Structure 1
């Protein structure tokens, strides 16, 4: 039969392959929840060149500079706004999504259930 197992962990990488529904919480509030597949489709992990950082930043949830440019997470729905910028786009890990949400400039808070 179906079973529900609740895990509370900071080690998201270990949970990635064993969970199908996730809830990300910060300071006791749910900031994201849904089926892992749906959550991964909602976001994109992007990489680009340093000269495009300022063009991408307003559309990104979280963006950091790296030695060879930048990388970060963006909502998939915002990809259209940066389609003319030369970036690489990948399906993010749950870890990348959770870090972006926790450190992101905008907070998505789901009302108490």
Structure 2
């Protein structure tokens, strides 16, 4: 489906970035610039410590067994601690999110709203 006369990546590359920003978003305008070889985002230096570390995984199959959830949380926390040690950092906070499979509407859902 064409949007604003853009059918292909080449069309996007050749589009006017000011018009893209005006009619769509700054992200799409930056994408057009990137397609032209104009870098819009800088990469982090490899030696600079990360400010946030995330370890995220999904269970391979549904589970309601507390021990399985507990062990998975322990493994993910351990992996995050390894990442912290590698960059010689300390944690200020730890956040844990646990949700049910939102795509399974036939099952009871759990997600905490803040």
TM-score calculated relative to the size of structure 2: 0.21
In our comparison, the structure showing a higher alpha carbon Rg is 2
Greater RCO, 1 or 2 (C-alpha within 8 Å, sep 6+): 1
Q: Which has the higher helix share?
A: 2
TM-score calculated relative to the size of structure 1: 0.21
